[in-house]
Structure 1
Protein backbone atom coordinates (compact mmCIF):
# COMPACT_ATOMS: atom_id res chain seq x y z
CA UNK A 1 0.00 0.00 0.00
CA UNK A 2 2.78 2.41 0.96
CA UNK A 3 4.78 1.63 -2.18
CA UNK A 4 1.71 2.16 -4.36
CA UNK A 5 1.04 5.50 -2.69
CA UNK A 6 4.62 6.67 -3.19
CA UNK A 7 4.53 5.52 -6.82
CA UNK A 8 1.27 7.39 -7.41
CA UNK A 9 2.66 10.54 -5.79
CA UNK A 10 5.84 10.42 -7.87
CA UNK A 11 3.78 9.83 -11.03
CA UNK A 12 1.59 12.89 -10.35
CA UNK A 13 4.65 15.06 -9.66
CA UNK A 14 6.42 13.77 -12.76
CA UNK A 15 3.42 14.44 -15.01
CA UNK A 16 3.00 17.94 -13.52
CA UNK A 17 6.67 18.70 -13.98
CA UNK A 18 6.97 17.31 -17.50
CA UNK A 19 3.82 19.15 -18.57
CA UNK A 20 5.68 22.42 -18.23
CA UNK A 21 9.29 21.38 -18.74
CA UNK A 22 8.81 20.85 -22.46
CA UNK A 23 8.07 24.59 -22.81
CA UNK A 24 10.18 26.00 -19.99
CA UNK A 25 12.16 28.22 -22.39
CA UNK A 26 9.07 29.49 -24.23
CA UNK A 27 7.48 32.77 -23.04
CA UNK A 28 3.96 32.42 -21.67
CA UNK A 29 1.43 34.36 -23.74
CA UNK A 30 -2.34 34.34 -24.39
CA UNK A 31 -1.57 32.14 -27.43
CA UNK A 32 0.17 29.44 -25.33
CA UNK A 33 -1.78 26.22 -25.73
CA UNK A 34 -2.36 23.23 -23.47
CA UNK A 35 -4.08 22.72 -20.15
CA UNK A 36 -0.90 23.44 -18.14
CA UNK A 37 -0.29 26.75 -19.92
CA UNK A 38 -3.89 27.97 -20.16
CA UNK A 39 -5.14 27.09 -16.67
CA UNK A 40 -2.04 27.16 -14.46
CA UNK A 41 0.96 29.11 -15.79
CA UNK A 42 -0.79 31.91 -17.72
CA UNK A 43 -3.24 32.87 -14.91
CA UNK A 44 -0.35 33.02 -12.43
CA UNK A 45 1.66 35.12 -14.89
CA UNK A 46 -1.26 37.54 -15.23
CA UNK A 47 -1.51 37.85 -11.44
CA UNK A 48 2.21 38.73 -11.26
CA UNK A 49 1.81 41.35 -13.99
CA UNK A 50 -1.32 42.77 -12.32
CA UNK A 51 0.38 43.38 -8.98
CA UNK A 52 3.51 44.72 -10.69
CA UNK A 53 1.44 47.35 -12.53
CA UNK A 54 -0.46 48.08 -9.31
CA UNK A 55 2.83 48.94 -7.56
CA UNK A 56 4.52 51.04 -10.23
CA UNK A 57 5.90 48.24 -12.42
CA UNK A 58 7.82 46.69 -9.51
CA UNK A 59 8.01 43.05 -10.56
CA UNK A 60 10.22 42.21 -7.60
CA UNK A 61 7.59 43.48 -5.16
CA UNK A 62 4.93 41.65 -7.18
CA UNK A 63 6.81 38.34 -6.81
CA UNK A 64 6.99 38.92 -3.04
CA UNK A 65 3.26 39.67 -2.79
CA UNK A 66 2.10 36.83 -5.07
CA UNK A 67 4.38 34.34 -3.29
CA UNK A 68 2.77 35.28 0.02
CA UNK A 69 -0.74 35.06 -1.51
CA UNK A 70 -0.04 31.61 -2.96
CA UNK A 71 1.37 30.42 0.37
CA UNK A 72 -1.67 31.77 2.22
CA UNK A 73 -3.98 29.92 -0.17
CA UNK A 74 -2.03 26.71 0.46
CA UNK A 75 -1.85 27.30 4.23
CA UNK A 76 -4.90 25.13 5.14
CA UNK A 77 -3.36 22.24 3.21
CA UNK A 78 -0.02 22.74 4.95
CA UNK A 79 -1.69 22.78 8.37
CA UNK A 80 -3.54 19.57 7.52
CA UNK A 81 -0.33 17.94 6.30
CA UNK A 82 1.56 18.99 9.45
CA UNK A 83 -1.16 17.69 11.77
CA UNK A 84 -1.23 14.39 9.90
CA UNK A 85 2.56 14.07 10.14
CA UNK A 86 2.43 14.75 13.89
CA UNK A 87 -0.31 12.14 14.34
CA UNK A 88 1.71 9.55 12.42
CA UNK A 89 4.80 10.44 14.43
CA UNK A 90 2.90 9.91 17.69
CA UNK A 91 1.95 6.40 16.54
CA UNK A 92 5.49 5.40 15.60
CA UNK A 93 6.20 3.60 18.95
CA UNK A 94 3.03 1.51 18.59
CA UNK A 95 3.80 0.76 14.96
CA UNK A 96 7.32 -0.31 15.90
CA UNK A 97 5.91 -2.73 18.49
CA UNK A 98 3.67 -4.26 15.83
CA UNK A 99 6.64 -4.69 13.49
CA UNK A 100 8.59 -6.43 16.22
CA UNK A 101 5.58 -8.64 17.04
CA UNK A 102 5.13 -9.64 13.40
CA UNK A 103 8.78 -9.72 12.34
CA UNK A 104 8.39 -12.80 10.19
CA UNK A 105 8.45 -12.14 6.44
CA UNK A 106 5.91 -14.77 5.43
CA UNK A 107 2.76 -13.60 3.66
CA UNK A 108 0.28 -14.46 6.44
CA UNK A 109 2.31 -12.64 9.10
CA UNK A 110 2.69 -9.55 6.91
CA UNK A 111 -1.04 -9.60 6.17
CA UNK A 112 -1.74 -9.71 9.91
CA UNK A 113 0.68 -6.80 10.41
CA UNK A 114 -1.19 -4.72 7.83
CA UNK A 115 -4.55 -5.52 9.42
CA UNK A 116 -3.45 -4.52 12.92
CA UNK A 117 -1.72 -1.42 11.59
CA UNK A 118 -4.96 -0.31 9.92
CA UNK A 119 -6.86 -1.04 13.15
CA UNK A 120 -4.36 1.16 14.99
CA UNK A 121 -4.99 3.99 12.53
CA UNK A 122 -8.77 3.61 12.92
CA UNK A 123 -8.59 3.59 16.73
CA UNK A 124 -6.71 6.89 16.76
CA UNK A 125 -8.57 8.45 13.81
CA UNK A 126 -5.44 8.71 11.69
CA UNK A 127 -5.56 8.60 7.89
CA UNK A 128 -2.15 7.61 6.46
CA UNK A 129 -3.11 9.22 3.13
CA UNK A 130 -3.96 12.59 4.68
CA UNK A 131 -0.33 13.72 4.77
CA UNK A 132 0.25 12.97 1.07
CA UNK A 133 -2.90 14.36 -0.52
CA UNK A 134 -2.15 18.02 0.40
CA UNK A 135 1.31 17.59 -1.13
CA UNK A 136 -0.21 16.28 -4.37
CA UNK A 137 -2.43 19.38 -4.57
CA UNK A 138 0.34 21.83 -3.68
CA UNK A 139 3.07 20.70 -6.05
CA UNK A 140 1.39 21.54 -9.39
CA UNK A 141 0.56 25.03 -8.07
CA UNK A 142 4.11 25.68 -6.85
CA UNK A 143 5.63 24.27 -10.05
CA UNK A 144 3.20 26.40 -12.06
CA UNK A 145 4.26 29.51 -10.15
CA UNK A 146 7.89 28.57 -10.84
CA UNK A 147 7.12 28.44 -14.57
CA UNK A 148 5.13 31.68 -14.45
CA UNK A 149 8.18 33.49 -13.09
CA UNK A 150 10.62 32.00 -15.60
CA UNK A 151 8.35 32.44 -18.62
CA UNK A 152 6.93 35.93 -18.00
CA UNK A 153 9.07 38.09 -20.29
CA UNK A 154 8.33 41.35 -18.45
CA UNK A 155 10.10 40.10 -15.31
CA UNK A 156 13.49 39.64 -17.00
CA UNK A 157 13.73 43.30 -18.02
CA UNK A 158 13.23 44.76 -14.52
CA UNK A 159 15.39 45.05 -11.42
CA UNK A 160 14.65 44.97 -7.71
CA UNK A 161 16.82 46.16 -4.83
CA UNK A 162 20.45 45.49 -5.94
CA UNK A 163 19.85 42.81 -8.63
CA UNK A 164 18.36 42.34 -12.09
CA UNK A 165 15.43 39.90 -11.92
CA UNK A 166 16.43 38.25 -15.20
CA UNK A 167 20.05 37.65 -14.18
CA UNK A 168 21.73 35.74 -11.38
CA UNK A 169 22.55 37.72 -8.22
CA UNK A 170 26.09 39.07 -8.87
CA UNK A 171 26.92 39.15 -5.15
CA UNK A 172 25.47 35.67 -4.35
CA UNK A 173 23.50 37.17 -1.47
CA UNK A 174 20.13 35.74 -2.51
CA UNK A 175 21.48 32.20 -3.14
CA UNK A 176 23.11 32.12 0.30
CA UNK A 177 19.99 33.48 2.00
CA UNK A 178 17.87 30.95 0.06
CA UNK A 179 20.12 28.12 1.25
CA UNK A 180 20.17 29.36 4.85
CA UNK A 181 16.39 29.79 5.05
CA UNK A 182 15.88 26.36 3.46
CA UNK A 183 18.06 24.84 6.18
CA UNK A 184 16.24 26.68 8.97
CA UNK A 185 12.81 25.77 7.61
CA UNK A 186 13.73 22.08 7.27
CA UNK A 187 15.37 22.03 10.69
CA UNK A 188 12.16 23.35 12.24
CA UNK A 189 10.00 20.85 10.34
CA UNK A 190 12.25 17.93 11.39
CA UNK A 191 12.67 19.07 15.00
CA UNK A 192 13.07 16.03 17.22
CA UNK A 193 12.94 13.49 14.35
CA UNK A 194 16.19 13.89 12.38
CA UNK A 195 18.05 11.51 14.72
CA UNK A 196 15.42 8.83 14.12
CA UNK A 197 15.75 8.91 10.34
CA UNK A 198 19.25 9.15 8.77
CA UNK A 199 17.73 9.94 5.35
CA UNK A 200 15.95 12.99 6.75
CA UNK A 201 19.18 14.14 8.41
CA UNK A 202 20.97 13.84 5.07
CA UNK A 203 18.25 15.86 3.29
CA UNK A 204 18.61 18.56 5.95
CA UNK A 205 22.02 19.38 4.46
CA UNK A 206 21.54 18.24 0.87
CA UNK A 207 18.52 20.44 0.05
CA UNK A 208 20.09 23.78 1.08
CA UNK A 209 23.22 22.94 -0.96
CA UNK A 210 21.10 22.12 -4.01
CA UNK A 211 19.08 25.33 -3.60
CA UNK A 212 22.29 27.41 -3.43
CA UNK A 213 23.65 25.77 -6.60
CA UNK A 214 20.38 26.32 -8.47
CA UNK A 215 20.05 29.90 -7.23
CA UNK A 216 23.57 30.78 -8.36
CA UNK A 217 22.74 29.67 -11.91
CA UNK A 218 19.08 30.74 -12.18
CA UNK A 219 17.65 34.27 -12.55
CA UNK A 220 17.43 36.23 -9.29
CA UNK A 221 13.64 36.33 -9.62
CA UNK A 222 13.56 32.63 -8.69
CA UNK A 223 15.96 33.15 -5.79
CA UNK A 224 13.66 35.90 -4.52
CA UNK A 225 10.70 33.52 -4.77
CA UNK A 226 12.58 30.85 -2.79
CA UNK A 227 13.67 33.29 -0.09
CA UNK A 228 10.17 34.74 0.42
CA UNK A 229 8.58 31.28 0.35
CA UNK A 230 11.08 29.95 2.89
CA UNK A 231 10.60 32.88 5.26
CA UNK A 232 6.83 32.37 5.06
CA UNK A 233 7.30 28.66 5.84
CA UNK A 234 9.57 29.46 8.81
CA UNK A 235 6.95 31.78 10.32
CA UNK A 236 4.18 29.29 9.53
CA UNK A 237 6.10 26.39 11.10
CA UNK A 238 6.84 28.45 14.21
CA UNK A 239 3.16 29.11 14.84
CA UNK A 240 2.04 25.57 14.01
CA UNK A 241 4.80 23.73 15.88
CA UNK A 242 5.76 26.41 18.42
CA UNK A 243 5.30 24.38 21.65
CA UNK A 244 6.95 21.34 20.08
CA UNK A 245 9.96 23.40 18.93
CA UNK A 246 10.40 24.92 22.40
CA UNK A 247 10.32 21.45 23.95
CA UNK A 248 13.05 20.25 21.58
CA UNK A 249 15.20 23.29 22.39
CA UNK A 250 14.78 22.65 26.12
CA UNK A 251 15.73 18.99 25.72
CA UNK A 252 18.77 19.93 23.63
CA UNK A 253 19.86 22.42 26.26
CA UNK A 254 19.42 19.86 29.01
CA UNK A 255 21.46 17.29 27.08
CA UNK A 256 24.33 19.71 26.55
CA UNK A 257 24.44 20.50 30.23
Structure 2
Protein backbone atom coordinates (compact mmCIF):
# COMPACT_ATOMS: atom_id res chain seq x y z
CA UNK A 1 0.00 0.00 0.00
CA UNK A 2 2.85 2.35 0.86
CA UNK A 3 4.56 1.60 -2.45
CA UNK A 4 1.31 2.23 -4.37
CA UNK A 5 0.83 5.55 -2.57
CA UNK A 6 4.40 6.53 -3.42
CA UNK A 7 3.84 5.55 -7.06
CA UNK A 8 0.68 7.70 -7.24
CA UNK A 9 2.45 10.64 -5.60
CA UNK A 10 5.33 10.38 -8.09
CA UNK A 11 3.02 10.39 -11.12
CA UNK A 12 0.62 13.08 -9.96
CA UNK A 13 -3.12 13.60 -10.23
CA UNK A 14 -3.39 15.04 -13.76
CA UNK A 15 -1.65 12.20 -15.69
CA UNK A 16 -3.74 9.62 -13.81
CA UNK A 17 -6.94 11.56 -14.53
CA UNK A 18 -6.10 11.86 -18.23
CA UNK A 19 -5.29 8.14 -18.40
CA UNK A 20 -8.60 7.24 -16.73
CA UNK A 21 -10.59 9.43 -19.15
CA UNK A 22 -8.69 7.94 -22.10
CA UNK A 23 -9.46 4.37 -20.95
CA UNK A 24 -13.17 5.23 -20.70
CA UNK A 25 -12.98 6.73 -24.19
CA UNK A 26 -11.36 3.60 -25.64
CA UNK A 27 -13.97 1.32 -24.01
CA UNK A 28 -16.83 3.48 -25.31
CA UNK A 29 -15.28 3.50 -28.78
CA UNK A 30 -15.02 -0.29 -28.76
CA UNK A 31 -18.63 -0.67 -27.62
CA UNK A 32 -19.89 1.82 -30.22
CA UNK A 33 -18.57 -0.29 -33.12
CA UNK A 34 -21.11 -2.96 -34.02
CA UNK A 35 -19.17 -4.66 -36.81
CA UNK A 36 -16.97 -7.75 -36.58
CA UNK A 37 -13.17 -7.73 -36.47
CA UNK A 38 -11.40 -11.07 -36.69
CA UNK A 39 -8.66 -11.89 -34.21
CA UNK A 40 -7.04 -15.22 -33.42
CA UNK A 41 -5.55 -15.96 -30.02
CA UNK A 42 -4.79 -13.59 -27.16
CA UNK A 43 -2.60 -11.23 -29.19
CA UNK A 44 -5.00 -11.24 -32.13
CA UNK A 45 -7.86 -10.35 -29.78
CA UNK A 46 -5.77 -7.53 -28.30
CA UNK A 47 -5.03 -6.09 -31.75
CA UNK A 48 -8.68 -6.58 -32.73
CA UNK A 49 -9.74 -4.52 -29.72
CA UNK A 50 -7.61 -1.66 -31.01
CA UNK A 51 -9.04 -1.94 -34.53
CA UNK A 52 -12.64 -1.92 -33.24
CA UNK A 53 -11.87 1.08 -31.04
CA UNK A 54 -10.34 3.03 -33.94
CA UNK A 55 -13.35 2.22 -36.09
CA UNK A 56 -15.62 3.24 -33.22
CA UNK A 57 -13.84 6.59 -32.86
CA UNK A 58 -14.06 7.02 -36.64
CA UNK A 59 -17.83 6.58 -36.46
CA UNK A 60 -17.97 9.60 -34.14
CA UNK A 61 -16.56 11.67 -37.02
CA UNK A 62 -18.78 10.39 -39.86
CA UNK A 63 -16.49 7.40 -40.55
CA UNK A 64 -13.41 9.57 -41.06
CA UNK A 65 -10.69 6.97 -40.53
CA UNK A 66 -7.99 9.63 -40.55
CA UNK A 67 -9.57 11.45 -37.60
CA UNK A 68 -10.22 8.08 -35.96
CA UNK A 69 -6.50 7.22 -36.12
CA UNK A 70 -5.52 10.66 -34.80
CA UNK A 71 -7.93 10.69 -31.85
CA UNK A 72 -7.33 7.06 -30.90
CA UNK A 73 -3.54 7.50 -31.03
CA UNK A 74 -3.87 10.44 -28.61
CA UNK A 75 -6.10 8.36 -26.32
CA UNK A 76 -3.53 5.56 -26.23
CA UNK A 77 -0.76 8.06 -25.50
CA UNK A 78 -2.76 9.42 -22.58
CA UNK A 79 -3.27 5.86 -21.28
CA UNK A 80 0.48 5.25 -21.10
CA UNK A 81 1.27 8.80 -19.90
CA UNK A 82 1.53 7.76 -16.21
CA UNK A 83 4.10 5.13 -17.19
CA UNK A 84 6.10 7.74 -19.07
CA UNK A 85 6.00 10.13 -16.09
CA UNK A 86 7.23 7.36 -13.81
CA UNK A 87 9.94 6.36 -16.29
CA UNK A 88 11.23 9.92 -16.65
CA UNK A 89 11.21 10.41 -12.86
CA UNK A 90 13.31 7.25 -12.48
CA UNK A 91 15.71 8.46 -15.16
CA UNK A 92 16.10 11.82 -13.40
CA UNK A 93 16.96 10.05 -10.15
CA UNK A 94 19.54 7.93 -11.94
CA UNK A 95 21.05 11.02 -13.57
CA UNK A 96 21.27 12.78 -10.21
CA UNK A 97 23.77 10.19 -8.91
CA UNK A 98 25.87 9.83 -12.06
CA UNK A 99 28.65 11.93 -10.54
CA UNK A 100 28.82 9.64 -7.51
CA UNK A 101 28.68 6.56 -9.73
CA UNK A 102 31.61 7.94 -11.74
CA UNK A 103 33.55 8.47 -8.49
CA UNK A 104 32.86 4.87 -7.47
CA UNK A 105 33.99 3.64 -10.89
CA UNK A 106 37.25 5.57 -10.46
CA UNK A 107 37.66 4.06 -7.01
CA UNK A 108 36.92 0.53 -8.21
CA UNK A 109 38.14 0.31 -11.85
CA UNK A 110 36.83 -3.24 -12.23
CA UNK A 111 40.07 -4.70 -13.50
CA UNK A 112 39.58 -7.86 -11.44
CA UNK A 113 36.75 -9.85 -9.88
CA UNK A 114 37.17 -8.36 -6.41
CA UNK A 115 37.10 -4.80 -7.75
CA UNK A 116 33.95 -5.49 -9.79
CA UNK A 117 32.23 -7.02 -6.76
CA UNK A 118 33.14 -4.03 -4.61
CA UNK A 119 31.86 -1.66 -7.29
CA UNK A 120 28.56 -3.53 -7.57
CA UNK A 121 28.13 -3.53 -3.79
CA UNK A 122 28.94 0.19 -3.56
CA UNK A 123 26.49 1.02 -6.33
CA UNK A 124 23.72 -1.03 -4.71
CA UNK A 125 24.37 0.70 -1.38
CA UNK A 126 24.14 4.11 -3.08
CA UNK A 127 20.90 3.21 -4.86
CA UNK A 128 19.40 1.94 -1.60
CA UNK A 129 20.44 5.07 0.26
CA UNK A 130 18.83 7.33 -2.36
CA UNK A 131 15.75 5.13 -2.84
CA UNK A 132 16.55 4.39 -6.49
CA UNK A 133 15.68 1.23 -8.39
CA UNK A 134 18.04 0.94 -11.38
CA UNK A 135 15.49 -1.16 -13.27
CA UNK A 136 12.46 1.05 -12.51
CA UNK A 137 12.84 2.99 -15.77
CA UNK A 138 12.74 -0.25 -17.79
CA UNK A 139 9.40 -1.55 -16.44
CA UNK A 140 7.20 1.17 -18.00
CA UNK A 141 8.96 0.63 -21.34
CA UNK A 142 8.24 -3.11 -21.20
CA UNK A 143 4.58 -2.43 -20.41
CA UNK A 144 3.97 0.21 -23.07
CA UNK A 145 5.75 -1.51 -25.97
CA UNK A 146 3.04 -4.19 -26.52
CA UNK A 147 0.43 -1.41 -26.53
CA UNK A 148 2.27 0.61 -29.18
CA UNK A 149 3.02 -2.49 -31.26
CA UNK A 150 -0.66 -3.54 -31.14
CA UNK A 151 -1.69 -0.05 -32.22
CA UNK A 152 0.75 -0.15 -35.14
CA UNK A 153 -0.36 -3.63 -36.24
CA UNK A 154 -4.03 -2.70 -35.91
CA UNK A 155 -3.61 0.23 -38.27
CA UNK A 156 -1.26 -1.59 -40.65
CA UNK A 157 -3.31 -4.80 -40.94
CA UNK A 158 -6.82 -3.39 -41.17
CA UNK A 159 -8.08 -3.16 -44.79
CA UNK A 160 -10.99 -0.99 -43.62
CA UNK A 161 -8.77 1.64 -42.04
CA UNK A 162 -6.55 1.74 -45.10
CA UNK A 163 -9.50 2.15 -47.45
CA UNK A 164 -10.35 5.71 -46.44
CA UNK A 165 -9.42 9.16 -47.68
CA UNK A 166 -8.15 11.91 -45.40
CA UNK A 167 -7.10 15.37 -46.56
CA UNK A 168 -4.80 14.70 -49.52
CA UNK A 169 -4.15 11.11 -48.44
CA UNK A 170 -5.28 7.71 -49.56
CA UNK A 171 -4.70 5.93 -46.24
CA UNK A 172 -3.85 2.64 -47.96
CA UNK A 173 -1.06 4.15 -50.08
CA UNK A 174 2.12 6.12 -49.41
CA UNK A 175 1.92 9.87 -48.98
CA UNK A 176 2.47 11.19 -52.56
CA UNK A 177 4.01 14.44 -51.30
CA UNK A 178 6.19 12.89 -48.54
CA UNK A 179 4.74 15.35 -46.01
CA UNK A 180 3.90 12.73 -43.36
CA UNK A 181 7.31 10.95 -43.49
CA UNK A 182 9.11 14.29 -43.15
CA UNK A 183 6.90 15.39 -40.25
CA UNK A 184 7.34 12.01 -38.53
CA UNK A 185 11.12 12.35 -38.84
CA UNK A 186 11.13 15.97 -37.61
CA UNK A 187 8.98 15.19 -34.56
CA UNK A 188 11.15 12.16 -33.78
CA UNK A 189 14.23 14.38 -33.93
CA UNK A 190 12.55 16.96 -31.70
CA UNK A 191 11.69 14.50 -28.92
CA UNK A 192 15.06 12.74 -29.16
CA UNK A 193 16.98 16.03 -29.10
CA UNK A 194 15.02 17.36 -26.11
CA UNK A 195 15.55 14.12 -24.21
CA UNK A 196 19.28 14.14 -24.98
CA UNK A 197 19.71 17.78 -23.96
CA UNK A 198 17.99 17.03 -20.65
CA UNK A 199 20.73 14.51 -19.83
CA UNK A 200 23.85 16.20 -18.41
CA UNK A 201 25.92 13.06 -18.97
CA UNK A 202 26.41 12.68 -22.73
CA UNK A 203 28.76 10.57 -24.80
CA UNK A 204 29.31 10.15 -28.52
CA UNK A 205 26.47 7.63 -28.80
CA UNK A 206 23.85 9.78 -27.05
CA UNK A 207 24.83 12.75 -29.19
CA UNK A 208 24.39 10.88 -32.48
CA UNK A 209 21.18 8.97 -31.63
CA UNK A 210 18.83 11.98 -32.21
CA UNK A 211 20.02 11.94 -35.84
CA UNK A 212 19.82 8.17 -36.38
CA UNK A 213 16.22 7.58 -35.20
CA UNK A 214 14.63 10.25 -37.45
CA UNK A 215 16.50 8.88 -40.46
CA UNK A 216 15.18 5.36 -39.76
CA UNK A 217 11.63 6.69 -39.26
CA UNK A 218 11.86 8.69 -42.50
CA UNK A 219 12.95 5.70 -44.60
CA UNK A 220 10.32 3.43 -43.02
CA UNK A 221 7.51 5.98 -43.36
CA UNK A 222 8.28 6.34 -47.07
CA UNK A 223 7.50 2.64 -47.55
CA UNK A 224 4.36 2.14 -45.41
CA UNK A 225 0.73 3.19 -46.01
CA UNK A 226 -0.23 6.74 -45.09
CA UNK A 227 -2.42 5.39 -42.27
CA UNK A 228 0.71 4.17 -40.46
CA UNK A 229 2.62 7.37 -41.26
CA UNK A 230 -0.27 9.39 -39.83
CA UNK A 231 -0.08 7.33 -36.62
CA UNK A 232 3.67 8.02 -36.37
CA UNK A 233 3.22 11.75 -36.94
CA UNK A 234 0.59 12.07 -34.21
CA UNK A 235 2.42 9.78 -31.78
CA UNK A 236 5.80 11.46 -32.29
CA UNK A 237 4.29 14.95 -31.99
CA UNK A 238 2.68 13.90 -28.72
CA UNK A 239 6.01 12.43 -27.59
CA UNK A 240 7.84 15.68 -28.41
CA UNK A 241 5.35 17.83 -26.47
CA UNK A 242 5.40 15.36 -23.60
CA UNK A 243 9.20 15.38 -23.49
CA UNK A 244 9.27 19.20 -23.45
CA UNK A 245 6.96 19.41 -20.45
CA UNK A 246 8.40 16.47 -18.51
CA UNK A 247 12.09 16.89 -19.40
CA UNK A 248 12.35 20.56 -20.34
CA UNK A 249 16.12 20.77 -20.99
CA UNK A 250 16.16 24.56 -20.69
CA UNK A 251 14.58 24.45 -17.24
CA UNK A 252 16.79 21.56 -16.14
CA UNK A 253 19.89 23.41 -17.37
CA UNK A 254 18.91 26.47 -15.32
CA UNK A 255 18.35 24.28 -12.25
CA UNK A 256 21.76 22.61 -12.69
CA UNK A 257 23.47 25.98 -13.12
CA UNK A 258 21.71 27.35 -10.03
CA UNK A 259 22.77 24.29 -8.02
CA UNK A 260 26.36 24.69 -9.26
CA UNK A 261 26.39 28.38 -8.30
CA UNK A 262 25.03 27.48 -4.87
CA UNK A 263 27.72 24.83 -4.44
CA UNK A 264 30.46 27.28 -5.48
CA UNK A 265 29.09 29.93 -3.13
CA UNK A 266 29.03 27.40 -0.30
CA UNK A 267 32.64 26.38 -1.03
CA UNK A 268 33.66 30.05 -1.18
CA UNK A 269 32.11 30.75 2.23
CA UNK A 270 33.84 27.71 3.73
CA UNK A 271 37.22 28.88 2.40
CA UNK A 272 36.56 32.39 3.68
CA UNK A 273 35.67 31.04 7.12
CA UNK A 274 38.84 28.91 7.14
CA UNK A 275 41.00 31.92 6.24
CA UNK A 276 39.36 34.01 8.96
CA UNK A 277 39.98 31.24 11.46
CA UNK A 278 43.68 31.08 10.53
CA UNK A 279 44.04 34.86 10.91
CA UNK A 280 42.43 34.80 14.35
CA UNK A 281 45.09 32.38 15.53
TM-score in same-fold range (> 0.5): yes
Q: Does 1:34 align with 2:51?
A: no
When residues 164 and 30 of structure 1 are mapped into structure 2, their CA distance, relative to the original with a 3 A threshold, is closer
Is the counterpart of residue 136 in structure 1 residue 142 in structure 2? yes
3-state SS, counterpart of residue 217 of structure 1: coil
Q: 191-200 or 220-229: which moved more? A: 191-200
Q: Distance in 1 between matches of 2:136 and 2:84?
A: 11
**Larger deviation, residues 185-194 vs 73-82:** 185-194
**Does the 8 Å contact 2:51/2:155 carry over to 1?**
yes
Partner of 1:78: 84
CA contact (8 A) 1:177 1:227 kept: yes
Give how far 1:167 is off.
Answer: 0.5
Alignment partners' CA distance in 2, 1:95 and 1:103: 12
1:246 aligns with 2:243: no
Q: Is the 8 A contact 2:198 2:252 kept in 1?
A: no
SS at match of 1:153: coil
Task: Tell me the number of residue pairs that the alignment of Structure 1 and Structure 2 aligns.
Answer: 222
Secondary structure in 1 aligned to 2:247?
helix
| Alpha-carbon distance in 1 for matches of 2:219, 2:77 | 24
Cα distance per residue 1:190-219 (max 9 Å; x no partner)? 114387221122211111001010111100
1:64 aligns with 2:46: no
Normalised by the size of structure 1, how large is the TM-score? 0.82
Measured at CA, do residues 117 and 249 of structure 1 come closer, stay the same or move farther in structure 2, by a change above 3 Å?
Answer: closer
In 2, the alpha carbon distance for the partners of 1:164 and 1:227 equals 16
Residue 241 of structure 1 deviates from its aligned partner by 2.1
The higher-RCO structure (CA 8 Å, 6+ apart) is 1
Residue 210 of structure 2 is aligned to residue 204 of structure 1: yes
State how far apart, in whole Å, the 2-side matches of 1:164 and 1:171 are.
12
TM-score between the two structures when normalised by the length of structure 2: 0.75
What SS does the aligned partner of 2:119 have?
Answer: helix
Residue 33 of structure 1: CA displacement?
1.3
1:20 is matched with: none
Specify every segment of 5 or more residues in structure 1 that has no aligned partner in the other structure, as ranges: 1-28, 252-257
Larger Rg: 2
Post-superposition CA distance 1:59-101 (Å, at most 9, x none): 0000000000000000000000001111111111100100110
Aligned to 1:18: none
Q: Is the 8 A contact 1:157 1:166 kept in 2?
A: yes
Q: 1:230 aligns with which of 233, 236, 240?
A: 236
Cα distance change of structure 1 residues 190 and 47 upon mapping to structure 2, 3 Å threshold: same
With over 3 angstroms needed to count, the CA separation of the structure-2 counterparts of 1:31 and 1:246, relative to structure 1, is closer
CA change 1:32–1:171 in 2 (3 A) is same
Give the distance between the partners of 2:223 and 2:157, measured in 1 at CA.
16
